[in-house]
Amino acid sequence: MNRIEKEAIPSEKQAGTRGQKLWERMLEYRQKTRLSLSRAKLVTASYKETEGHTPPLRRAKACAKIVTNIPIYLEEVRSTDQMVTAIQKNR
């Protein structure tokens, strides 16, 4: 192995540290994120329908399917300091 290849391979200590940081960052993200089963089903259906198309087109059609099929509701505004929000019905 030459010097460049040796530098490209992290030491065990570095790998553990980087891996630990990545794990902690992803764990924090997963705790904040909510998953939507109905959204996942729509994306899966869209990808099955658009098999053979280019990836950007498939993503666009999946997004369109989500936007047109996910039910939302608007909260009633009770005072001037509240904002009107759209919230997914099925989380």
Query: What is the structure's pLDDT at 62?
Result: 96
User: How wide is the angle at C-alpha 53 spanned by C-alphas 52 and 57, nearest 5°?
Assistant: 155
Q: For residue 76, what pLDDT is reported?
A: 64
Phi, psi of 40, rounded to the nearest 5 degrees: -60, -40
| Strands 86-88 vs 72-74: parallel, antiparallel or unpaired | antiparallel
DSSP annotation of 77 reads P
Neighbours of 62 (CB within 10 A): 19
Along the 91 residues of the chain, how does pLDDT read in single tens digits?
555 555 555 555 555 688 888 888 888 877 777 778 889 999 999 999 999 999 999 999 999 999 999 877 666 666 555 555 554 554 4
CA–CA distance, 62 with 50 (Å, rounded to integer): 9
pTM: 0.49
pLDDT value of residue 17: 80
